[in-house]
Homo-oligomer: A and B are copies of this chain.
Amino acid sequence: MSNEYKNILVAIDLSEDSRKVLLQAKEIAARNQHAKLSVVHTLEPLGFAYGGDIPMDLTSIQDQLDSHARTRLKELLEGIDIPEENQHVLVGMPDTETHRLANEQNIDLIVVGSNGRHGFQLLLGSVSSGVLHGAPCDVLAVRVGKKS
């Protein structure tokens, strides 16, 4: 029996700290016989934040946000070899989408960031404590934002 991780998903909020989480995940993948590495960023739907009752079409704004997120993701992934098809930018609730993706893709380790100070409540913005609750697999919280 081997407990090596074969399929690792990094859930990030695209902040500067995300880079540290990605690099840590990259090293872990390398130590696990080069496990498959995927990354997910989940955009919360625009309408949701306003109760879904806005008298205008938000589609084009959502598209712009999506495009902006993909550009930012590319920057953060510099030097980290994750094929395009393993880069997921989703729209929805971050926890739910991350769990759904983890189930769909048979992920065995989810990597997230934690600032350590206020626990997972403030965990890299949108990647909240909920990623831990109900996760279908192991979850690694990488400590970010510490003085070193």
Residue ranges of A at the interface with B (Cβ–Cβ < 8 Å): 2-4, 23-24, 27, 31-32, 114, 116-120, 129, 132-143, 146
Provide the bound-state CA to CA distance between A25 and B47, in Å: 43
Tell me whether A142 and B133 are in contact (CB under 8 A): no
Tell me whether B141 and A116 are in contact (CB under 8 A): no
Provide the bound-state CA to CA distance between A133 and B133, in Å: 14
Provide the bound-state CA to CA distance between A130 and B65, in Å: 35
Which one of B4, B27, B117, B137 lies within 8 Å of A2 (CB-CB)? B27
Set of chain B residues within 8 Å of A117, measured between Cβ atoms:
134
Which one of B4, B32, B114, B129 lies within 8 Å of A139 (CB-CB)? B114
